[in-house]
Amino acid sequence: MQTHEIRERFTNHFVETGHTPVPSASLILDDPTLLFVNAGMVPFKPYFLGDQTPDFKNGTATSIQKCVRTLDIEEVGITTRHNTFFQMAGNFSFGQYFKEGAITHAWTLLTGAVEDGGYGLDPERLWVTVYLDDDEAASIWRDKIGVPEERIQRMGMEDNFWSMGIPGPCGPCSEIYYDRGPEYGKEGGPIADDNRYMEIWNLVFMESVRGEGDKKGNFEIVGELPQKNIDTGLGIERVACLLQGVDNVYETDLLRPVIDAAVELTGAKYDDGNQDNDVRFRVIADHARTGMMIILDGVTPSNEGRGYILRRLLRRIIRSARLLGATAPVMETFMNTIMDTMTPSFPEIADNRERILRVAVAEERAFSKTLESGTTRFDEAANAIKSSGAAVLPGEQAFELHDTYGFPIDLTVEMAREAGLDVDMDAFNAAMQEQRDRAKADNKAKKHRNLDESLYREWVDNNPTEFVGYDQLSHDGTVIGLVRDGEKVGEVSQGDEVEVILDVTPMYAEAGGQMADRGRILMGDTILNVNDVQRVGKKLWLHKATVQNGGLDLGSTVTTEVDGAWRHGARQAHSATHLIHAAIRQVLGPTAVQAGSLNKPGYLRFDFNYTDALSDAQLEEIATITNQAVDADFAVNTIETSLDKAKAMGAMALFGENYGDTVRVVEIGGPFSIELCGGTHVDHASQIGPVAVLGESSVGSGARRIEAYSGMDSFKFLSKEAALASGLAAELKAPTEELPDRIAQLTERLRAAEKEIENLHRQQLLASTADLAGQAETVGEHRLVAKQLPEGINTGDLRTIVSDLRGKMQAEDALIVLTSTVGGKVSLAVAATKPAVESGIKAGDVVKVLGEYVEGKGGGKPDLAQGSGANPEGIPAGLHAVRDWLEQR
C-alpha cells in the first residue's frame, strides 16, 4: 500500500465518522516557541491551551500534519525509525468523545479489512501500553476491544504521560505497538524491546493541568481541565513500513528511490555491511525530503533561524554524497527524485518544482566554495599540528571549522584520519553542548511568552472585534476590555500605557506585512493616542495606546479615529507592493514568489525567492512595469470568496499563512495582480503615485529584497535624485545622460592614479629599508633583523618589507622582526627564511613573544606571520625579548 493511499484511508476513516478535515498547516507558523511545526497537535494548540474555543463541526477534527524535528540532526540515519520530516496523522476531540471513542476509532482503522477502507493489520500482533494507574484505559482495551491482558503493559510518566513541556494541558496516554516478529528482537512486548515492537499510534487523554517543572516527569498536577480532550498521533511513515513489508522508514516508497539515486551517483553500495556508508545514504534520503519540504514552505538557506537549519540539512547531503564518492553535483538529482515521490501526497510541489530546484542547487554551488575555504583552514591547522609533533586536532579548532566555516564534524574527522591525526572529540562535543544549552535556554525562555494569550480568551471566544476600517476611518465603539501591565483593569487614567479592546474598530491591526494604523480614541476631553494595533487569535484587536488626557472606564462609548495621512500612505505602499510582486514575476518568472514584505507609509520592501542578483536592466524593467500599471490606473477590486474559488481565480497565497474558509482577494487590473490579502488598498492604481525602486540586495542564499518608495516619498526621492544629477552635470560640464560614462571614466583614472601612487610608495618604502639586511646581527647560530621602523607603516607594508628581506637573506638562517606604530597602535610582521624554519623557528611563535610586551596577538604560517598590539611603549622590551628567545634556541 503506497504512502499516499495510507494517508487517504486515514482521512476518509475519520471524515466518515463526523470529523472535520483540517488541511496540514505550513511548517512555519507565527509561534515564538517553534522554528518548525514539530507535532500534529501544534495547529490546534490554541484550543488545548484554552486561548480559543474550537468551532469545528461536532467538536472533532482530523488532519495529517507535516512536521519537522531537528533537535539532533547529527543522529539522523544512525537509527532507522526516525526522520527529521514526518507526517503525523491525528484525530482530535474537544469535549466530545474521550478514551473509549479514541481507542475504538484507532482499533477499527488499524484492524479493519483493506476492502472496507482499513489497514488490515493482524490484531494478534498489536500490543498496547497505558499509564501506570490508568485502569480505565486498560479496561477498555481488555473488555471492549478484546486485547488480552498479557498484551497490555503499563509504563510510567516518561513513556505514557504527555505534556507540552510547559505548564498547561496534560494527561495520560495509551500507545499502540506492532510486533514485527522474533527476527527483530526478543519477546516480552514494548517494555522488553521497542525495536521489535514498533510504536505506531499514540492516544493522548488530555484531562489535567500541570505546573512548573524542568523535566518531563518533574512537575505536579495542579488541576483538571474544564473539558476532556483527545489528541492522537499516528506515524504515517511507520505504518508504511508495516504495510509495505520493509524493515525501516528508509525502505519505503518515499525514501528508497533517493537512496537508489545516491547509489548510482556515488558508486557506493547500500546495505552491504558498511555502517558508516549506510548512515550517509540515509542522511541523504532524509535531508533531501526535509530540505525540499522546508523550501516548499518558503524558507531559503541563511545563517540564522530556519534558514540555518535548512542550510545545515542541504550541506549534510552534499558532504555525505562526497564521502560516498560523488565528484559531480548531486542536488538536482536528489531533489527531482524526492519531489517525484512526494507529489502524490503534496500536489503543490508541482507548482513549486523549479523554485525548489533553484534554491537547492544554488546552495550546493555556495557550499562548494565553503568546502574550498574550510579545506584550506583545515590544511593550515593540520600542518601546524604535525609540525609541532602533535597528533590531535584540538576540539576547539574542529568546532571553529564546524561553526564558522560550516564544515561538518564527520568530514573533519575523515580528513584528519587521512592526515594521520585524531580529533579531540570530547572538547568538540563540549563546545557543541554549550551551543545546544544556549539554544535550549533561549527556546525555554521563548516558550513562556505563549502563555499570556490566555488572558484574552474571554474576548476572543465571546466578543471578537468587528473591523470596519476598509471603508471607514472613524467609528463609534464600546470599550469591552482594558489591560494594563498584563492585568485586566476597570479604568485607566492620564499617563497610563494601556491595551484597549473595542467591540468595533476602524483601525487596521498589523498583518500581512502592513504596519498597524495610528490614530486616536476620543471621548469628550479624554484622548488616547494609539501607536500600535495587534491581533490575538486573528479575532481580537488590541489598541496599544497612551492616555494623553482624561480617563477611560469599561463600558465607555468612544470614537476611534484613524490618522488619515498614515492610512493613505500605508494603502499606497501596500498596493505598490502588489504591483512590484506582479512585475517581478513578469520579469523573472513564476518561481520568484513572495517570501516576506513590509509596508508603511511611503515605503515598502519586498522579499522574494530568487538565487541570482538582479541586473540593472531587470531592475529597471520591474520599475517600468510597476509604474506603467500606475499610469494605466488599474481598478482595485476586493472579493470575498471561498479558498478553493480564490485559488481557481489564480490568487496567490503567502507561505506560512493559514487561511479560513472565506478569504479576501485583492485584484488589481484583472489578471495583472491577484492575491489573497487582508490589507487596505487604494481604489485605483493611479492613487499610488510614482513608485521609485531604490535597489535590490541579498537577504540570504536564494532570497532577494527590493526596496521602494511610493507616493509623495517617491516624488521627494526622485526630485532629490534629479537635483543631484543636475548638480553633477553642471560640475562635470556634461549632459545628464552622459553622466554614467563620464563618472566611469573618472573612476578608472582615479583607480589608475591610486595604483601608481601605491607602487611608488612601495618602491620608496623598499628603497628606504634596503640596508636593513646589512644591519643584521648574529644571535647564536642565527641572523636577526629586529627593528622599530618610523611611525605610520601599517601591517600590510611591514609584510611587504619582511618578505623582501626574507628573499634577500634566503640563503641564511635568518629571522626578520619589524614593528611600527599607526594611530597609537602597534603593527608588527615577522618572517623566517627556509633554513630558519628548518632549524625549528616559527614566525608565529615570535609574534606571541613580542605580543606579550605590546599587549597584542596575531598569527600566520611558520615562514610569515603578523599581528597588532595596543602598547607601543612595550616595543623596545619586546624586541629585546625576541633576541633573548632566539639566543636560547
Element of type H or E holding 850: helix 843-854
Backbone angles phi, psi at 735, to 5 degrees: -60, 150
The reply to whether 681 sits in an annotated binding site is: yes
How many angstroms from the chain centroid is the CA of residue 811?
Answer: 56
DSSP state of 859: E
Q: Is residue 287 marked as binding?
A: no
| Spatial separation of the C-alpha atoms in residues 700 and 609, rounded to whole Å | 10
Task: Give alpha helix (H) positions in 348-503.
Answer: 348-351, 353-387, 395-403, 409-418, 425-447, 457-462
Residue 574 annotated as binding? yes
Q: Which residues pair with 560 in a beta bridge?
A: 475, 521
Give the sign of the dihedral formed by CA 424, CA 425, CA 426, CA 430.
positive
Q: Which three cell numbers stand for residue 728?
A: 553633477
Backbone angles phi, psi at 234, to 5 degrees: -110, 130
Positive or negative: CA dihedral 94, 97, 103, 106 = negative
The Cα 370–Cα 825 span in angstroms is 33
> In sequence order, which residues have a C-beta less than 8 Å from that of residue 211 and are 6 or more positions away?
167, 219, 220, 221, 222
Place of cell 480559543: 52
Residue count of the chain, please give it: 889
Round to the nearest angstrom and report the end-to-end CA distance of the chain: 76
Contacts 24+ apart (CB under 8 A), 440-446: 443/33, 446/32, 446/33
**Is the distance from CB of 168 to CB of 209 less than 8 angstroms?**
yes
The C-alpha cell of 537 is what?
A: 487569535
C-alpha cell at 16: 466518515
The residue behind cell 628548518 is 838
Between CA 121 and CA 128, with CA 124 as vertex, the angle to 5 degrees is 90
Q: In what order do the strands lie in the sheet with 691-698?
A: 594-600, 603-609, 703-710, 691-698
Cα gap 807→804, rounded to integer Å = 5
Is 782 annotated as contributing to ligand binding?
no
The cell for 572 is 499606497
Pull the grid cell for residue 876.
623596545
CB 689 within 8 A of CB 715: yes
Structure-derived torsion over alpha carbons of residues 596, 600, 602, 604, reported in degrees to the nearest 10? -10
Radius of gyration of the chain (CA): 34
CB 518 within 8 A of CB 530: yes
* Binding site members: 574, 578, 677, 681
* Binding site members for Zn(2+): 574, 578, 677, 681
